[in-house]
Structure 1
Amino acid sequence: MPSDALELIAENRSFGGWHRRYRHRSAVLDCEMIFAVYLPPQAESTRVPALWWLSGLTCTDENFMQKAGAHGVAAELGVAIIAPDTSPRGTDLPGEHDRYDFGSGAGFYVNATQAPWNAHYRMYDYVTEELPALVGEHLPLNGRHAISGHSMGGHGALVCALRNPGQYTSVSAFAPIANPTQCAWGQKAFSGYLGDDPAAWTAWDASELIREHGSELSLLVDQGEADNFLADGQLRPEALETACREAGVPLTLRRQPGYDHSYFFIATFIADHLRHHAAALR
């Protein structure tokens, strides 16, 4: 399949719009990839803005689209949603499928520099360059983009927005891995993808990026207080809060009592995030 071609593999009518899954050949990742898009009813007559959704560990393009309950609000607001996969697929590198938090389903939205991962694991370039160019060519989008995500994908959303000023109108996250250089998940992934020098990791850490460069965007973050990964020290929203305060970056960090790390949490607050992004996308 040519790298500039899209193959429609599934579609479902939803709230007057269309949920579609596409396959394409990624030159950046050197493999075939699948991504999902929700096109609201307005996309049948005009070009619409898009929210990019980056999912977390073990997810694919399907989790958010099926579980978050976002289509109805997106249809009301006239916003498309684009959900990439979370890692390259079909590469079958040694040990790639052995762990849930490294390798398949765990690309961490970085550009790997270490062999053999650097041949395929370039999810940052994929979600910020290759896939936006592809959907911009083939889908009825107007060129205005926002970005959000959950857990590993919340980390990815923050990093993509912070490293690309002007590319996104707004950014938000659900329970992001906010300080990956200082948690077990991040240290494991970064040492594998980026090498053993922690100095090379800071360019992929939202808290460190804000501390060093600030941000032109305000941040919206929801964090469930009953999240077991919060208690385990994997998420570290306090580090993001401190970095934003010290850098003068506006942060709305909403701590939600009783909510865990699941899609019930996301489904409860996704409408708030969609409306937040829609206001900026206008």
Structure 2
Amino acid sequence: MSFKTNASITQFGGQLLKLTHESKVTKTPMNVNVFIPPTSKHSKTPVLLYLSGLTCTPENASDKSFFQYWASKYGFALVFPDTSPRGAKIKGEDDDWDFGTGAGFYVNATQSPWSTNYNMYSYVHEELLEELSKEFKQLDFDNISITGHSMGGMGALVGFLRKPRDYKSVSAFAPISNPSVVPWGEKNFGAYLGNDQNKWAEYDPTELIKHFNGDDSSTILIHQGLKDNFYERELKPENFVNAAKSYKGEVDLKLVDGYDHSYYFISSFVEEHAKHHAKYLGLL
């Protein structure tokens, strides 16, 4: 598999690459943005994986989050995947803004017709990283952390809790923390995974942390705006905190007054998240 470079943009002394490749997992072309910083304290550059939220493409975070400034400062690379397959030509995938295209929910679908293409868990955590590691030898995919926003914050927490040996640290901005009990989760899990609640639990951070048996003791950092319109109905970070009683590390939930669900919120706290990951990536 090879990546096609659609654009190479100099930014903060590094390079933002806008790439396309063919995915065997989703059976569609996939877009991904990669930022490579100018320098690193390591012989190979550590990586931070950023998972975006509903409706987003790789452009949203790379255009609006300001993560590249801090990646350049601390010396880690950034990977911005897409949020779903595009152009799978499945009936109904473009009917709703919060389902189908732009709403892959980072699961491996088990239900027809979604199971053919909507395998974003395997795409993000396995295929994409494996292929990028072949293409970009200067990046260290054995020294990687993960973060994300909203649906992507859910995906980041799930990836960390299911693959604790793969990721050094995790953080999230306004994550869908308990998708099994909220409308977004019920809608998407029901369609992608069917009615088996045990399957839903495999992608629910609140359920996963109850049974987490890794030896990781890193802090899980979460920011949540109190003026977020989705906070009480869809996100429920307190459920995650309450379920984490046996987690060996700390869940640091920061509720911040005045902030909504947008990239204005994300960019306001991105420095703290960048420092959080730089610490665990060995850059501080």
Q: CA RMSD in A?
A: 1.3
Alignment partner, residue 269 of structure 1: 269
Task: List per-residue Cα deviations over 1:129-165 (Å, max 9, x = no partner).
Answer: 0011011111120231000000000000000110012
How many corresponding residue pairs?
277
Describe the SS at the equivalent of 2:97: coil
Q: Distance in 2 between matches of 1:49 and 1:247?
A: 26
Alignment partner, residue 211 of structure 1: 210
Show structure 2 runs of 5+ residues with no match: none
Alignment partner, residue 161 of structure 2: 162
> Residue type matched to 2:210 in 1?
R
Q: Distance in 1 between matches of 2:15 and 2:31?
A: 16
Describe the SS at the equivalent of 1:81: strand
Task: List per-residue Cα deviations over 1:187-213 (Å, max 9, x = no partner).
Answer: 100000000122221111000001122
Show structure 1 runs of 5+ residues with no match: none
Contact kept, 8 Å, 1:244 with 1:251, in 2: the verdict is yes
Q: Distance in 2 between matches of 1:246 and 1:234?
A: 24
How many percent of aligned residue pairs carry the same amino acid?
44
Q: Tell me the TM-score normalised to structure 2 length.
A: 0.95
Which of structure 1's runs of 4+ aligned residues deviate more than 4 A?
246-249
Change (3 A) 1:247 1:78: closer
Q: Does 1:107 align with 2:108?
A: no
- Residue pairs, 1:144-223, within 5 angstroms: 144-214=143-213, 216=216, 217-223=218-224
Q: Distance in 1 between matches of 2:43 and 2:191?
A: 44
Contact kept, 8 Å, 1:173 with 1:221, in 2: the verdict is yes
- Residue pairs, 1:52-63, within 5 angstroms: 52-63=49-60
2:140 to 139, 142, 163: 142
Alignment partner, residue 7 of structure 1: 4
Q: Tell me the TM-score normalised to structure 1 length.
A: 0.95
Alignment partner, residue 225 of structure 1: 226
Change (3 A) 1:254 1:185: same
- Residue pairs, 1:70-149, within 5 angstroms: 70-139=67-136, 140-143=138-141, 144-149=143-148
Q: Distance in 1 between matches of 2:213 and 2:207?
A: 9
Q: Give, in angstroms, the shift of residue 270 of structure 1.
A: 0.5
Q: Distance in 2 between matches of 1:95 and 1:210?
A: 33
Q: Distance in 1 between matches of 2:248 and 2:181?
A: 22
> Residue type matched to 1:229 in 2?
F
Q: Give, in angstroms, the shift of residue 249 of structure 1.
A: 4.3
> Residue type matched to 1:14 in 2?
Q
Contact kept, 8 Å, 1:214 with 1:248, in 2: the verdict is no
Task: List per-residue Cα deviations over 1:99-118 (Å, max 9, x = no partner).
Answer: 11110000000000000000
